[in-house]
Structures are given as C-alpha cells and as structure tokens.
Amino acid sequence: MQRKSSFFLSSLFLSLSFSFSSSVGAQDYDPSRVIVKLAPEVEISEVTTLKSTRLLDEYYVIQTSDAAGLVKQLSSNPNVEKVSLNYKRSVGFAPQDPSKRFFKSLVSDPFFNDVRATKLWAFDDKEENGIDVNKYYAYLAAHPEIKKSPVLVAVVDTGADLTHPDLQGKFWVNKKEVAGNGIDDDKNGYVDDVNGINTLQRNPQNEATGNVTLDPGPCTFLDCSASHGTHVSGTIAAVQNNKIGVAGISSEAKLISIKTVPTDGDETDIDVAESYAYAAKMGARVINCSFGKAVNEGGNMVNEMITTIAKKYNVLVVIAAGNSNQNIDTTLTYPASYPNPYTVVVGASTSGGSRASFSNYGIKNVDIFAPGQGIVSSVKGGYQSFDGTSMAAPHVAGVAAEILSVFPKLNVKELKDVLLKSAVLVPSYEPLSVSGGLLNVMEAYNYAAKNYPNKR
C-alpha cells in the first residue's frame, strides 16, 4: 500500500518543511484500520468476521483494535492478495515571506466580464505565456454549432466553500440522495452525500460522512481548510461572466467536493483511495489532486486504485508535481512519481515563461507545465493570489474538463494524449518534462478536433 511522508499543499502562503523518520513507529499508522486486497472471486467473509467496508472491487477496509496484529495474521492467508497498515504522517508548514508574492501585469483584453478577469494572466495567449483561455472562448463564441455537455470533476482536497458566490451552481448534486434525512437513499454506502463526502469525519460505523459543510466565517489559508480547496475549485470552474470575482477555465465542469486532506497534511492511504473510488463511482471523469508525499513506505494501493478507476470508469487523475524544487525522477514524491499511464503530473510555470523556482520537475515523471505562480482565485470569504503546483494542476483539470465537454467519447489515454501532444513547446521545459511544453486549451481543442473527430 502506498504511503508517502508529507502531503504538500501548494500555496502562495505556504512552503512545506518535511520532517520524518525512515522507520515506522506507532504514531505512523492508523491502529484501527487495515487495507486488504482479496484474491479474485474471494468474499470478505472468507477472510474475517470483523466489520469491513468495500471501497471498490477487490479492495476492503477492515476495522480492528489491533492493526499490526491483523496484518501479521492475514499476511499468510492465501485468500488475501495484499494487506497493509494504513500509514500516515504529519507535515509542518511555514508561511512564505509576503514580500516575495508575485503579481502579473493586467490582462489587456479579457474575454470575460468578471471583475478580476484582468488579473488572470494564465488566460492570456501563448505569446504572453498564458494558455489561450480567452482565445478559446472567443473561438467558441464565433462557432455556436460546437455543442458541449457537463463534465464531473472531483476535487480531492481540504474541502471547499459551497456557499461562495462565484461557485454557485457549480457543485454536483446527488439527486438520488435526500439531504438531511440520515438515510443512505441511493445505497452507495454514504449517508446524505449530496455534494460529496468527508473522509476526515466519520460516523460511529466508521463510514465517511456526507457533511461537507464548512465552519462559518472568513479565513485565510493558514487558519481555514476551506481556502486551498476553494482556490482549486475556482480555477477549474468559477462562474464565468457573472460580473464578480474570477472566471473558471471550464464552463461545463461540475465539482464533486471531497474532503480528504487535513490542513496538517496527515491524511491516509485509505482516505485517498476511498476518495478516488467514490469519485469514479459517482461519475467523475477527472480527479484533481493538489497534494503529495515524499516517501512511499512500500505500498501501492493508491497507484492500483488509480489504474482500477481508469480502466473501469475512464477517469484521468491530475496530480500536482510538488514544491520542493527537485527532480522527482530521482527524488521521488507520491503519487506524482508513480509510473502510471492514467495520470497527468503538473509542474508550475510563471508568466515570464520559466519554471517556477519552487516547482518540481522530471523528464520521466512530470508530464506538463501549467500556470502556477500569482494565481488569483476564490477562497472562503473572497479571493486571493496563491503560488504552487497546487494551482497549476487545476489549470490542467479545467482544460481536461473542457476537452471532454466537446469530445465526451475520449477515453482516458486519448485525453492524456490530447493534453500532452498539444502542449506549446518551450525549450527550457524539454529536459524537465515528458511533453517539453506548456498546457494550452486552444491547441488542445485543435489537436482533438484533428485527431479524434469521431469522439464528439
């Protein structure tokens, strides 16, 4: 099972300071839950009578009072393919010097009427090192015959402000669930999951709740879990042309809010894998993951779950590369460094056309670069500018959603092909990433139209 040692939450205000021991101590895993992958066609009742939860297909979570003892017991069971502790580690944060905040000159000719549209430098054309968002929507306006359909994007993060005025109507609603009645109406294993789930809050049966409501009151990144996930959500899907705030990249994205990453970065494999499984079963085609850890204690559960949901549900997972200014081909970080064909790993670029100084890189493990410095988006109580590969990843997720809205029949490998093959080549990025280039939505549309015309 995958376990990494320090999830990064990339932001203008935060840089990560990793501190961990290579040994696994008592505090490094959840003593109440064990991850099990059963052999094919085996029922969980053949393995244990302890209470269990089925995540997806052959994956189960078993509740126990002695996780280490249960792992030892099940490791010799022929009906068990894999068994692992549910590792976790905490992470420390340090505020970034406010004098180092990055600001971009105003966008001269924005397509949108949102009041902060002039600050969205990433929406500029590629000559300005943006990704052609304004140009793309101008093209769509001139071609009303292009039909689009909604696309579900799961934001696996610290939560999101569902009441933010710039995100109204953008959150997915589970129409099979009756809000607040305390019943699992759609029989999917979650009670009242109207907009998503919260794997950090569990009911007495140890089931993730559907309570994604956030605490009242405004907050900043440092003291409110809502800010990071809300910022990511706004970049993907903030309401366009509503004369307030910012505009999201995708007009068609609907967001499944999944709270899995606590502000101290101490989430576990089970919570991450459960988030992926839930998002896929609820219909997400893209999952945004603006988090990561620096150590894998030997497991592969999260990587296997990514492969499973891609093959079974056609889901692309977009992953932030990390903010340690290191080559993640040699200094690995997870899930970004997994050799998985169903992920797109994203480094951060600046408006000046260079790799952001904090951004990780790697010609094998980083797929593409996208705007990640001086990114203005929604936070609880307003809007702020953040830096980080956390901000770069949702640019890719937003473009992926837009391409799927026009070409919904693309499979996950074809979608990844569109994103990478259409990247605008940048000489300095060639030794730093697979594509050697910068994300571009207009080029992605043109590439898909030329190479996958029958996928509309």
Residues annotated catalytic, as ranges: 157, 228, 390
415: nearest Cα among 433, 396, 438, 434: 396
State in Å, rounded, how far the first CA of the chain is from the last one: 38
Helices (H) and strands (E) in the chain, counts: 8, 18
**324-361 as b/e: b if 16+ CB within 10 A:** bebbbeeebbbbbbbebebbbbbbbbbbebebbebbbb
Check residue 285 and report its DSSP letter.
S
- CA gap 404, 396 in Å, rounded: 12
- How far apart are the C-alpha atoms of 448 and 439, rounded to whole Å? 14
CA distance 339 to 365: 7
Tell me the residue type at 201.
Q
Alpha-carbon distance 20 to 351, whole Å?
34
Q: How many whole angstroms separate alpha carbon 405 and alpha carbon 427?
A: 31
Which of 56, 3, 84, 1 lies closest to 308 in space, CA to CA? 56
CA 309, 310, 314, 318 dihedral sign is positive
- Write the single-letter amino acid at 359: S
Helix, strand, coil abundance in the chain, percent, nearest 5: 25, 20, 50
User: How many Å separate Cα 54 from the centre of its chain?
Assistant: 22
Q: Could you count the other beta carbons within 10 Å of the beta carbon of residue 260?
A: 29
Q: Dig out the tokens for 259 from the structure.
A: 């709270």
DSSP state of 423: P
The answer for 448, left when phi > 0, alpha when psi is -120 to 50, beta otherwise, is: alpha
Cβ(400)–Cβ(24) below 8 Å: no
Retrieve residue 402's tokens: 């837009």
Q: Phi-psi bin for 332: left (phi > 0), alpha (psi -120 to 50), beta?
A: beta
Q: 400, 447 in Cβ contact below 8 A?
A: no
Distance CA 110, CA 93 (A): 35
Cβ within 8 Å of residue 392, ≥6 positions away:
320, 321, 346, 347, 348, 349, 359, 369, 370, 371, 372
